[in-house]
Chain A
Amino acid sequence: KAGVTQTPRYLIKTRGQQVTLSCSPISGHRSVSWYQQTPGQGLQFLFEYFSETQRNKGNFPGRFSGRQFSNSRSEMNVSTLELGDSALYLCASSMGLLFDLNEQFFGPGTRLTVL
């Protein structure tokens, strides 16, 4: 069974641009969660999508948005990029919702650098 895949793996953007990251969950998984990992702030939860609906959201500004498609693939968009958005963005998939204690399987991440 293929694991969680994220594309692209590396990305370089400049301030003010926008970016879209993609996550393909494990086959059969319906929940996708996104996380931002930085040396300063550590790992922070962005949001969770289940059945094409955002179910939970972390404390990030509205510049961070996401969506989920009918095949459970998810995209995350960051608009008006700032230097502080440079991070490793991880996505994780699970069979069901996080609060039902479904185990999450993480992807390798997308390394975003904002210049």
Chain B
Amino acid sequence: AQTVTQSQPEMSVQEAETVTLSCTYDTSENNYYLFWYKQPPSRQMILVIRQEAYKQQNATENRFSVNFQKAAKSFSLKISDSQLGDTAMYFCAFMKHTGANSKLTFGKGITLSVRP
């Protein structure tokens, strides 16, 4: 079974600064996908960024980028130029790349607070 670990329950960052959220996972699969989701206080979850395990290049979406270390099974999210609207709970998630039982496995989440 796959597991996703987010060891930091809370983090805080000053507006305009950079912050990195950690995530590690455990799997015996070789082909899989990794995701970061954001859940703002209003509770509607949105996809921030995703990474296919077969791609060596780290995914980037505007101010959000990942550091994907496949051998170390690490998938951290870097938020540059933090904004107040980045305050939210962030979930790291894993999904194996097979049709059978392809489900999302989430970490426990990390609460990020951006200070003005």
Inter-chain contacts of A97 with B (CB < 8 A): 99, 102
Question: Given A58-B103, A99-B98, A99-B102, do A42 and B44 touch, yes or no (CB 8 Å)?
Answer: no
A44 close to chain B: CB less than 8 A: yes
Report the tally of A-B residue pairs with Cβ distances under 8 A: 52
Kindly state the interface size class of chain B when it binds its partner. 20 to 34
Least Cβ–Cβ distance between B107 and chain A, in angstroms: 7
Instruction: Pick from A33, A43, A44, A108: contact of B42, CB below 8 A.
Output: A108
* Chain A interface helix/strand/loop/mixed: strand
- Interface size counted on chain A using CB atoms at 8 A: 25
Q: How far is the CB of A26 from chain B (nearest CB, A)?
A: 13
Whether A101 contacts B106 by the Cβ 8 Å rule is: no
Give chain B interface residues in 40-59, CB to chain A under 8 Å.
42-47, 50, 52
Alpha-carbon gap, A44 to B52, bound state (A)? 21
Given known pairs A43-B91, A43-B109, A99-B98, the reply for A56 and B103 (CB within 8 Å) is yes
Q: Is A109 an interface residue (CB 8 A)?
A: yes
Nearest opposing residue in chain A for B104, CB measure: A45
A97 to B33, CA, bound (A): 14
Complex formed: what's the CA distance from A42 to B45 in Å?
13
